[in-house]
Amino acid sequence: MSNAPTKSDAPAKPDRAGQPPTEPMFDLIELFYFAYRDFVGDADRVLETYSFGRAHHRVLHFVFRQPGLTIAALLDILRITKQSLNRVLKELITEGFIEARAGEVDRRHRKLYATAEGEKLARDLAIAQTRRFARAIGGLGREGRDNAIEFLLAVIDPGERARVLELILTESP
């Protein structure tokens, strides 16, 4: 039995009026699921040693990348409930990976920073995932990285793209 995609697996094309496809793009959907599974799996294996999960990873990642991030801004980035964030954040603070400091202007606004231990873990996780990207992009030719960025941006809702670009292009540690 061949593993090659069949004609029925081929990506659906827009109709003549430019309307979205009416048939699911199962090949892309499933490839995205499997790629995501393996991408997060690299980090999951590291996180297991700390008894942390993916939510811990996401919080630590953005706190590391955006030192001084407020809880409100983090909630906006992650689009999770305050209750979900509080549990994960409390664990990261208690374990010494993140610290919360009172804001200089308004002491009620807590600003979040990765500790030295948090920075090391965030970098280790990023390096594990970077290895997978480097291996994948290495086989795509000179424009591979640019094409990957263009594709991933196109998957993001149009109204969010500028905000995401601003977030990811910010200088960080």
Q: What pLDDT is stored for residue 113 in this prediction?
A: 98
What is the sign, positive or negative, of the torsion defined by CA atoms of 115, 124, 56, 163? positive
Reading the block at residue 126, the tokens are 């990023």
Quote the percentage of the chain above a pLDDT of 90: 75
DSSP state of 70: E
Distance of CA 19 to the CA centre of its chain: 30
Q: What pLDDT is stored for residue 13 in this prediction?
A: 55
Domain coordinates of the chain in residue numbers? 48-168
> In this structure, are residues 64 and 114 in contact, taking their beta carbons and an 8 Å threshold?
yes
- Is residue 59 pLDDT above 50, yes or no? yes
CATH topology (fold) of 48-168? Arc Repressor Mutant, subunit A (1.10.10)
Residue 100 in 3-state DSSP?
Answer: strand
Q: What pLDDT is stored for residue 18 in this prediction?
A: 67
Model confidence at 149, in pLDDT bands (50, 70, 90)?
very high
pTM for this model (two decimals): 0.82
**Antiparallel, parallel or unpaired: β 110-114 and 69-70:** antiparallel
Which range among 69-73, 83-87, 118-122 has the greatest average pLDDT? 118-122
